[in-house]
Amino acid sequence: MRAIRPKKFEPYVFRQKWEQSFRDVGAKAVRRYDKTVETWEGDKPAFKVHVSYVSWLWLKVELEGPEQGIKKWNWLNKGTRVRRALMSPDWQSKTAPNDYQSGTGQGKVVFISKDLELPGIKARRWSKMADKEFRPEFKQKVQAATNEAAKRSGHHISKGR
């Protein structure tokens, strides 16, 4: 009687496929985030996909660039409790809550003071929108990558057996 031995397990095949699926979804998120700053003038952040591995794979879209641009994006994304800037009467924001698009807007900042306590900035919720939009696709791509890696490494379980 001969023993049936499985192929040697090759975890790098799985990791390689998973990393590619992470990068694919991350690139789509970056394209969405780029729309949020498309019409900004002055300091604005850039978005970069980081896939890292410690004890598990991790996907993160990080902000890079001028500190003031990063702060501005975070204030808009998360909102603020108070606003310390007085805007001109013709002020119109370039962005709106729950919308990635960045429009033309108008007006200017008249002055900024720590003594001002105006109603805060309404959260645009871009990161929550991206999570909701891309989570189903991300799960599907990771599952497809797992199936493909299992097949390539000889550990695929075919249905119907």
In tens, the pLDDT along 139-161 reads 999 899 888 888 877 766 666 55
Q: Centre a 10 Å sphere on the Cβ of residue 80 and count the other Cβ atoms it contains.
A: 15
146 Cβ partners below 8 Å, 6+ apart?
Answer: 14, 17, 18
Distances (CA, A) of 59 to 23, 46, 143: 8, 17, 16
Confidence (pTM) = 0.81
The packing angle between helices 67-78 and 126-153, to 10°, is 100
Q: Give the model confidence (pLDDT) of 86-123 as tens digits.
A: 999 999 999 999 999 999 999 999 999 999 999 999 99
The amino acid sitting at 139 is K
In the predicted model, what is the mean pLDDT of the chain? 90
Q: Which residues pair with 59 in a beta bridge?
A: 51
Instruction: List the chain domain ranges.
Output: 11-153
